[in-house]
Structure 1
Amino acid sequence: MSTTNTTNETNVTSTRNATSGTVRVAAGALAALLLLAGCSSKAKDDDGNDKGGTAAGEVKTGEGISGKTITLGALTDMTGVYATLGKSVTQAQQLYVKQLNADGGVCGYKVALSVRDHGYDPQKAASGYTELAPKVLGFVQFIGSPFVAAVEKRIDGQDKALVLPQAWSSALLGSSYIRVIGSTYDIETINAVDFLMKEKGLKKGDKLGHVYFEGDYGESALLGSKHIAKEAGLTVVEQKIKPTDNDMTAQVAALKKAGVKAVVISAGPRQAASLVGVAAAGGFDVPIIGNNSAFAPQLLATQAGPALLKNYYVASPSLPIGADTPGAQKLVADYKKAYPKDSLDNGVVAGWTAASAFGEALKKACETKDLTREGVDKALLTIDALDTGFGTPQNFTDPKAASSKQSVILQPDKSVTGGMKVVQEADASDTATQYTPGA
């Protein structure tokens, strides 16, 4: 797909010998009609190249718009540690785009997704970003906090294209173009530990285990557990792991020996399943809670399933896909119709929410007749209460803050759509409300 922003150039001419008043009137009327339809040529610079703007009265456009198509990028993981998440996020966004286009698109433009699978590999993520950055208006998906952080300087300094990542590291806050949707991992972890203290018996003086991925994701979550531990009189026992570590036997042994009373896991679904399963097999009967990306309903069909149903919880930035809301019910029906062979999980919610946020920014940018990267970014800054039907309105007006400080606490349940039920509605703990990332 061409990434050069072009418009149809129409020249209305008459022959040198046309002296008829009728011809002149018709030509003038046609020229006026074309102007009203927004078909005049783009402005050119001194070398004859497109400036990216348009003539008076038209929608201003730039990178990522070719002909009548707006192209958005999606850097996902369909073959790595977050394969189930990546598939669900991507398909939900493709569904959103299909419905948006069926409703007429944006400003007369159709929207298209250009998807690349990086397999949670840093080199593939970087090369995928390098390939897509010049070709897209922005990114509606970018899985992996470390990978987003690795190209943050290019995003802010060179490309200046809006990125809505499926990544919740607090280190991403403050960027003019990277906007975290929902609570960041540190805030989410604070809310998770608050739940353990209020509902699961964790108390002052206890030890709290924290198993976490090395890198931006895990270390952002660790900031949260350390902060609330300091506030609440807990001691954090750390266990750092790599994304390639799938057997949590050693970590469980260390935490059991240390005498921890509860565990937070900031890793992937495989690591969470291993941790919970090994703990149950070894008689290590403590509550375990994961960050939002540390579960997939497919785990309930594995040997770890019974243990997950008993002792595992997840902190989420929104209600689950099986929520009893009109928005959730419609999305479930639409997704099942579009992808009848695929299971439903909270990746669908994450993908839909990000696509909705980008879509709303595009619509507002259309209203101001500025579909450039800068125009779309400015448009997102005007959205202060986006509600996609999953319980947590999103406020994008402050780039230095997460769009929400609320978390929903979920528990695995085979009997509900998506395999997760709500045990605590969306809420921000007092500690999270008073907490400022990076302070």
Structure 2
Amino acid sequence: MSTRNTNRTVRVTAGALAALLLLSGCSSKAKDDDGKKGDSAAGEVKTGEGISGKTITLGALTDMTGVYATLGKSVTQAQQLYVKQLNADGGVCGYQVELTVRDHGYDPQKALSGYTELAPEVLGFVQFIGSPFVAAAKPRIDGQDKALVLPQAWSSSLLGSSYIRVIGSTYDIETINAIDFLMKEKGLKKGDKVGHVYFEGDYGESALTGSEHIAKEAGLTVVEQKIKPTDNDMTAQVAALKKAGVKAVVISAGPRQAASLVGVAAAGGFDVPVIGNNSAFAPQLLATQAGPALEKNYWVASPSLPIGADTPEAKKVVADYKKAYPKDALDNGVVAGWTAATTFGEALKKACANKDLTRQGVDKALLTLNALDAGFGTVQDFSDPKAPSSKESVILQPDKSATGGMKVIQQPKASTVAEAYTATAP
């Protein structure tokens, strides 16, 4: 069941953004060099867009000044570190890899103009933050450019593309696993109401699909509160959820909204567990007034173990990242960035072995990666474009004493409901 918030919101649809993108892209001409040959350490290798001279260029469309600024910075720096190490080891097929970065500030116009600018110049995108923006670019990615995109976005609307590949569980599956945790560990039970605060657009609505699905299966009622990325004060949402008598809350928004929700709830004596999707936390929040409340009553569902994971690979990434960026905090953006860069890197290496570094060659190479572990606990299977690479989620809890500000409460696991669920576009 579902109780909807009747407040009207202004929304730029993915369709409108896609139309803008296609219009702005009409004058862009991709380099017509598919099938040209290039000499390399691996012999004669087929190359195309994004390869010039001895350089492979990859694109990164990030957010360093908007709602996900902390995430974007960490993702980008982790990927720059990976590329630096890859090049130090000889690159790919004798080519050095270069990362071209554009900051869109979580603004749709900037995101789509950035894509239009970079698409003709890169082999593919190792980063694209923002489910709505990736969804808007999808018609052109699938129809015209056919370049591999590994987004830091987990909307189920992105599934089914041979070129946009979601790493880890989509938001709907992640939310199913999150509510399963609330039921098994935090007292939520059949007949209860669960609140869901979510961003309008692909991210929030994909997560809402998950909460509605498990609610139907488990006999819960979802009380919705739709918000915009510019809404930072969750006072009204907390009041509405408290009045509705919810026993737990899911938040599918950004770190600022999560901190406000948990902090306002604590200040008002609204003592219910709150769990967020993977992009709804940043360790910097632990230094704010909401810090104690976050440590006490907030959990996060994540597609992988945190940056402080007790694995050899994670420990090496931490040591290398600290050396490269000694003034910057560690967070799970580093994990997301490193995992995507590793995935793209492995696809490039496989394409090199196949002597085909064209966009099509890299796409085909990714399909052969069916058991990839970047060192953060979740095995990724990219063999089926219609499915996310994993259905597992890790449950984390904020902890200022832990590396990266998060500790593991539940190891990677897919709930029974998630296992039986097929992710579809919202």
**TM-score, normalising length: structure 1:** 0.88
8 A Cα contact 1:297 1:345, kept in partner: yes
Q: Which residue of 1 aligns with 2:422?
A: 436
SS at match of 2:412: strand
Question: Is 1:80 the counterpart of 2:66 in the alignment?
Answer: yes
Residue type matched to 2:410 in 1? Q
SS at match of 1:408: strand
User: Greater relative contact order (Cα 8 A, min sep 6): structure 1 or 2?
Assistant: 2
Q: Where does the alignment leave 5 or more consecutive residues of structure 2 unmatched?
A: 1-28
5 Å-filtered alignment, 1:6-405, equals 50-54=33-37, 58-405=44-391
Task: State how far apart, in whole Å, the 2-side matches of 1:205 and 1:145 are.
Answer: 32
8 A Cα contact 2:159 2:424, kept in partner: no
Higher Cα Rg, which structure: 1
8 A Cα contact 2:38 2:47, kept in partner: no
Q: Would you say how many aligned residue pairs link Structure 1 and Structure 2? A: 394
8 A Cα contact 1:4 1:66, kept in partner: no
Q: Where does the alignment leave 5 or more consecutive residues of structure 1 unmatched?
A: 6-48
8 A Cα contact 1:4 1:64, kept in partner: no
Residue type matched to 2:302 in 1? S
Q: Deviations over 1:251-284 (max 9, x none)?
A: 0000000000000000000000000000000000
Task: State how far apart, in whole Å, the 2-side matches of 1:343 and 1:237 are.
Answer: 35
8 A Cα contact 1:394 1:404, kept in partner: yes
Q: Which residue of 2 aligns with 1:33?
A: none
Change (3 A) 1:4 1:129: closer
Q: Deviations over 1:302-321 (max 9, x none)?
A: 00001001000000000000
SS at match of 2:322: helix
Question: Identity over aligned residues, as a percent?
Answer: 87
Residue type matched to 2:358 in 1? T
Task: State how far apart, in whole Å, the 2-side matches of 1:291 and 1:272 are.
Answer: 10
Shift of 1:70: 0.2
Shift of 1:55: 7.8
Task: State how far apart, in whole Å, the 2-side matches of 1:134 and 1:399 are.
Answer: 23
**TM-score, normalising length: structure 2:** 0.91
Q: Which residue of 1 aligns with 2:408?
A: 422
8 A Cα contact 2:313 2:376, kept in partner: yes
Shift of 1:330: 0.4
Task: State how far apart, in whole Å, the 2-side matches of 1:414 and 1:213 are.
Answer: 27
8 A Cα contact 1:52 1:63, kept in partner: no
Task: State how far apart, in whole Å, the 1-side matches of 2:33 and 2:103 are.
Answer: 32
SS at match of 2:390: coil
SS at match of 1:151: helix
Residue type matched to 1:410 in 2? L
Shift of 1:52: 3.3
Instruction: Calculate the aligned-residue CA RMSD, in Å.
Output: 1.3
Q: Which residue of 1 aligns with 2:20?
A: none
Residue type matched to 2:102 in 1? R
Shift of 1:415: 0.7
